[in-house]
Amino acid sequence: MNGLRDKVAIVTAAAGGGIGKATVTRLAEEGAIVVVTDSHERRTGETVEELSHRFPGRIDGFALDVTRREDIDRIVGAVVAKRGKVDILVNNAGINVLGGVDKISIEDWTRIFDVNLTGAFHLIRAVLPSMRKQHSGAIVNVSSIAAWSMLGGSDAPYAAAKAGLLALTRAVAAEAGPEGIRCNAVAPGIVLTKWVEKNMPGVSRQAEHTPMRRLGKPEDIAATIAFLASADASFITGEAITVSGGLYMHP
């Protein structure tokens, strides 16, 4: 893959065992300088230490709650001060609370939007000055096939937030494109993570309904993110790539 050597990449929710950690690992393998951020401080430190052994001098880390705008501005400022720029932003932070429209609390609705959509908005605003200064940059937002298809039937706030993230992706692509900045999204299907295994019992049966006859792995999504962040995708912007093994085929 071309175009990731010495690029500075910020990835949110990057210290768990899912898409975020797979993404920071893949970007580092491709030569990027990676900034690990996550709301879990201890886990962030452990991930930074683990990756620093493999990629010495190329891994930074910060505890970050994406609902706190002041922390976003502080951390992006620290990255620019140390590394001189931000080339790549991966908005991976997301939460879900299962429940129907008439059952979910207003507090849960608000927090789902704060994490999945508003946090991404604030991070994009924070990195745009650096990207505009260098007339280049790649933003990748992690949405979901839930933005189009209600497979579970009880994810209204999550689906609405992820659909909003797709609209934000297109808006940023149109606005920042003339300045050499690209913005795309990936829309994963069911990805087998610890959260999915815990909260979606029987999820493995979904493999039977997937043309590829398996569920997604975090590495599947990370590979697509790395492609969209690279020079190989230099003429792709405003797009949402579905990565679901065919479980949902976006027209």
User: For 65, left (φ over 0), alpha (ψ -120 to 50), or beta?
Assistant: beta
Is the CA virtual torsion 164, 166, 170, 175 positive or negative?
A: positive
Rounded distance between C-alpha atoms, residue 33 and residue 53, angstroms: 14
Structure letter (DSSP) for residue 116 = I
Residues catalogued as catalytic:
158
In the numeric block, which tokens belong to residue 209?
């309904």
The DSSP bridge partners found for residue 13 are none
**The residue count for the chain:** 251
Rounded distance between C-alpha atoms, residue 38 and residue 47, angstroms: 10
Q: Are 38 and 12 in contact (CB under 8 A)?
A: yes
